[in-house]
Structure 1
Amino acid sequence: MTSDTSTLRRVVDGLVDAGLVDPARRGEADTVVRDALGSGAPSPMAGSLRRRMAEIAGYVGGAFVVGAAVLFFSATWADLTLGVQVGLLLGTAAILVAAALALAAAARGRGGLAAGHEAVRRRLASVLMTGAAGSAAFGAGLLLADRLDDGSLAVALAALVGLVVSLAGYLVAPTTVGQLGIMVPALVAVPTFLDSLDTDSSSPLPLAALYLLLGVVWLVLAERGVWREVLPARVIGCVVAVLGAQVPVFDTLAWPGYVATAAVGVAAFWLYVVSRAWPYLATGVVAVTIAVPEALSDWFEGALGAAGVLLATGVTLLLAALAGLRLRQEVAEG
């Protein structure tokens, strides 16, 4: 008689449910049943290898499909009408969504995808939904750019389409890829919406404030467990917060950027003390290392030169690293 892993699991579960096997001895029962069935059930390592190979095959197959589509349409895309272009993109998004939902159905829904043994299906579904978000956003962007006079508003609305599809994909199959699929269109939507609102384009403060707010909200959701992958969520939120603090530096209001970056660093050190999560410690070191040399270079109006700025960066990094190590030791001892 042959048996696979699912059959073996059902047999052992049946024995446990019938009270014939102590649940604490499930592992021993698993071994006994496998041996009694003539080792027909594959080993967990073999099953894991097959799942990984199937996952790789899925990614490779998808890459070939995308590559073939790119090659096919690259030569004819400009000759297609707008309706055909939008239809192809939205149709592609629909197909990818259908494939992701089929994977979810095979895993018995979102709850099944969240289970550890369905990690392969969860990752594949997430990639498919993220690809669908990109296709939907591109298609919506083409259509909106043709219908709206405001190009910035068209891009912002297209980014929102991608954000909504990515969010739906994350609800179906939560992964780090899904988080990135949500954050990227959000980062695109913020500045394009500001442009469409005819805000004072000479001031970078509204964009900086919104990016900072986005990073803070992301971190709050991470700490509250809304994001399933807490560590990547902390990294993403910290990166966006530092980016928001640095936005004024890229424009004409440098000093607010230095102060904001230093404040992000101090807040990150405090969050590390509270949570003991290393992304906050790393963010504190990086933010301080960025802010101090920038401020010194600006204060001396470039008189430090490249060597002076490099020296200031090195000293600041060294001091920040030492402070971080000291803080980590104190947190560990506490």
Structure 2
Amino acid sequence: MDERQSAALHRLTVAGVISAEQERAVRDALDGVPAASSRTGRLVEIAGYVGGGLLLGGAVLLVATAWEDLSRTGRLTLLVAATAVLVAAGVLVAGGPRGIRQLGVGTVAHRVVGVLFALAPITAALAGGVAVDDREVLVGAAVGLPLAVAGYAVVSAAVGLLVAGALSVVVVMASVGEHPAAGPLAMGLWLFGLGVLWLVASAGRVLRHRQLGLAIGAVIAFFGAQQPLGSSDDAVWAYALTAVLAVACFAGYARERTFVLPAAGVVATTVVVPEAVWDWTDGAVGGGWLLLVGGAVLLAASGIGLRLGRSRPGVPVRPVEPAR
């Protein structure tokens, strides 16, 4: 038993979950059990990461160097095979299909399988793009996104959620880009809506990594809110969407105690106010004044976040039933 485990066991005794006699019995029982080698576990984990990275990098390098020499069938076969190998490797590390459901969260096997299942949608997206002559980006992302979602549903790994977030952005941007009449405003609205979906899914406890999901949603929504700046006629939409995002993040922080929401609210507020002032004054306000405005807004937004944090009552802790 290492120091952290010993301290955790003692805290259970102090909290009354177990008695002192039970603590001594647990210590006596574990004294004869050799602790698992953390160094070996880390080496195995690193080997899994390196293996997955080498497989993905090798596939990309091979395709890049021999792209012209390979037929479409050869390219597609190579990428599909790489995807299958990544998935099979993940299942093998987990100990079979049944072992995937029994993976302990935070264990070495869980992290390695999560990375392998996160890499598979990338090679699948490349395969989808190779399989068609038109709309390669859209088709590829549309193929990879469901696989990324399925991988996260099976093994809830943070890296899988990041891949799903990136592919969802590519799908939306490629879809909107297929319509020549769609301008920056349409792109911004669709991306903003995508970010809102991520925020709602994370706040609604659909995702296991709630803070990461909130961060992904906030980044996507902010990115979408800024898109209308590409057209001078639609700039007001950028200010409105960014302001809505800031207000929503501050309001959400009053309900969800997480640093992601106030941080996103502060960033959105600090960006939108100088942008709006610069635009509405036709650039009459110089850079120094904009810095002052931005600093004042940053302080005000930070103050709002702190006040919301102080005004929110603490979450009551359920008392632990003492040991009998």
- TM-score bracket, normalised by the shorter chain, equals 0.7 to 0.9
Unpaired runs of at least 5, structure 2: 1-16, 316-324
For each residue in 1:276-326, what CA deviation from the matched residue of structure 2 results, as whole angstroms up to 9, or x when unmatched? Answer: 222111111111111100000111112223323222222221222222222
Change (3 A) 1:66 1:199: closer
- How many residues align? The count is 297
Q: 1:178-193 maps to which residues of 2 (within 5 A)? A: 178-193=160-175
Structure-2 residue corresponding to 1:237: 217
Which of 47, 52, 74 is residue 62 of structure 1 equivalent to? 52
After TM superposition, give the deviation of residue 193 of structure 1 in Å.
Answer: 1.2
Contact 2:91–2:100 at 8 Å: present in 1 too?
no
Which of 273, 277, 283 is residue 254 of structure 2 equivalent to? 273
Give me the whole-angstrom Cα distance separating, in 1, the residues matched to 2:278 and 2:24: 67
Is the aligned partner of 1:200 residue 2:181?
yes
Is the aligned partner of 1:42 residue 2:42?
no
Give me the whole-angstrom Cα distance separating, in 1, the residues matched to 2:102 and 2:193: 34
Which of 47, 51, 74 is residue 84 of structure 1 equivalent to? 74
Contact 1:104–1:172 at 8 Å: present in 2 too?
no
For each residue in 1:104-130, what CA deviation from the matched residue of structure 2 results, as whole angstroms up to 9, or x when unmatched? Answer: 3358434312x23x6221221121122
Larger deviation, residues 51-60 vs 71-80: 71-80
Contact 1:245–1:257 at 8 Å: present in 2 too?
yes
Give me the whole-angstrom Cα distance separating, in 2, the residues matched to 1:274 and 1:207: 30
Structure-2 residue corresponding to 1:105: 95
Which of 124, 130, 138 is residue 118 of structure 2 equivalent to? 130
Contact 1:107–1:121 at 8 Å: present in 2 too?
no
After TM superposition, give the deviation of residue 92 of structure 1 in Å.
Answer: 0.3
SS at match of 1:78: coil
Change (3 A) 1:93 1:69: closer
Higher helix fraction (1 or 2): 1
Which structure would you say has the larger RCO, counting Cα contacts within 8 Å and 6 or more residues apart? Answer: 2
Give me the whole-angstrom Cα distance separating, in 1, the residues matched to 2:54 and 2:88: 19
Give me the whole-angstrom Cα distance separating, in 1, the residues matched to 2:312 and 2:18: 39
Change (3 A) 1:189 1:66: closer
Give me the whole-angstrom Cα distance separating, in 2, the residues matched to 1:124 and 1:27: 34
Structure-2 residue corresponding to 1:173: 155
Contact 2:76–2:131 at 8 Å: present in 1 too?
yes
Structure-1 residue corresponding to 2:131: 143
Give me the whole-angstrom Cα distance separating, in 2, the residues matched to 1:73 and 1:219: 37
Is the aligned partner of 1:95 residue 2:85?
yes
Q: Which amino acid aligns with 1:259?
A: A
Contact 1:93–1:133 at 8 Å: present in 2 too?
yes
Unpaired runs of at least 5, structure 1: 1-21
After TM superposition, give the deviation of residue 183 of structure 1 in Å.
Answer: 1.1
Change (3 A) 1:175 1:299: same
RMSD: 2.5
Structure-2 residue corresponding to 1:157: 139
Structure-1 residue corresponding to 2:6: none
Which of 171, 194, 205 is residue 214 of structure 1 equivalent to? 194
Q: Which amino acid aligns with 1:296?
A: V
Give me the whole-angstrom Cα distance separating, in 2, the residues matched to 1:51 and 1:26: 30
Q: Which amino acid aligns with 1:191?
A: M
Larger deviation, residues 99-108 vs 307-316: 99-108
Contact 2:173–2:191 at 8 Å: present in 1 too?
no
Give me the whole-angstrom Cα distance separating, in 1, the residues matched to 2:257 and 2:291: 31
Structure-2 residue corresponding to 1:16: none
Give me the whole-angstrom Cα distance separating, in 1, the residues matched to 2:269 and 2:18: 53
After TM superposition, give the deviation of residue 30 of structure 1 in Å.
Answer: 3.9
Q: Which amino acid aligns with 2:227?
A: V
Change (3 A) 1:23 1:307: closer
Instruction: Percent identity, please.
Output: 36
SS at match of 1:274: coil
Structure-2 residue corresponding to 1:32: 28
- TM-score, normalisation: structure 1: 0.80
Contact 2:201–2:207 at 8 Å: present in 1 too?
yes
Contact 1:169–1:178 at 8 Å: present in 2 too?
yes
Structure-2 residue corresponding to 1:292: 273
Give me the whole-angstrom Cα distance separating, in 1, the residues matched to 2:244 and 2:101: 40
After TM superposition, give the deviation of residue 66 of structure 1 in Å.
Answer: 4.2
SS at match of 1:55: helix
After TM superposition, give the deviation of residue 180 of structure 1 in Å.
Answer: 1.0
Change (3 A) 1:307 1:228: same
